[in-house]
Amino acid sequence: MLSYDPYLDNSLSPDQISKIKSDENANIIFARQDYWLKDGITLGLDPEKYYLVLSALEEFLEKAEPKLKNSIKSISRLDHDTELKVAGEMEKERNESESGLGMIFG
């Protein structure tokens, strides 16, 4: 669900694509957003859980949350402090990986 983009699916007919264009729910496409999915152990959190961070416009997030909850019954939004910790850890990791690539190609 996170990586699927119906507009890139060559198995869909033009008629099916047309129907998707008019379906607001079908146009909640996670693959077009910036997101990270990490297991809890790498974040120093619950090792039994995975954490998803979506970096998107608020308009998208308002529509995405119900879609996620319908598809993944156990998903829930984190409390504010944990949310900040997860986002901070993922941003730190992203900066470190970008820095590493800069050293390689610098």
Structure tokens at 101: 């690539």
The total number of structural domains in the chain stands at 1
In a domain, residue 3? The reply is: no
pLDDT surpasses 70 at 25: yes
Full residue range of the structural domain in which residue 101 is found: 33-105
> pLDDT tens across 65-96, in order?
999 999 998 899 899 999 999 988 888 888 88
What mean pLDDT comes out for the span 33-61?
Answer: 91
In a domain, residue 15? The reply is: no
pTM check: above 0.85: no
pLDDT surpasses 80 at 50: yes
In a domain, residue 43? The reply is: yes
pLDDT surpasses 60 at 55: yes
Residue 33's φ and ψ, nearest 5 degrees, are -110, 165
Instruction: Please state, in angstroms and rounded to a whole number, the distance separating the CA atoms of residues 18 and 5.
Output: 14
pLDDT surpasses 90 at 33: yes
Mention every residue, 6+ apart, whose C-beta is less than 8 A from residue 54: 30, 33, 34, 35, 60, 61, 64
In a domain, residue 74? The reply is: yes
In a domain, residue 54? The reply is: yes
In a domain, residue 14? The reply is: no
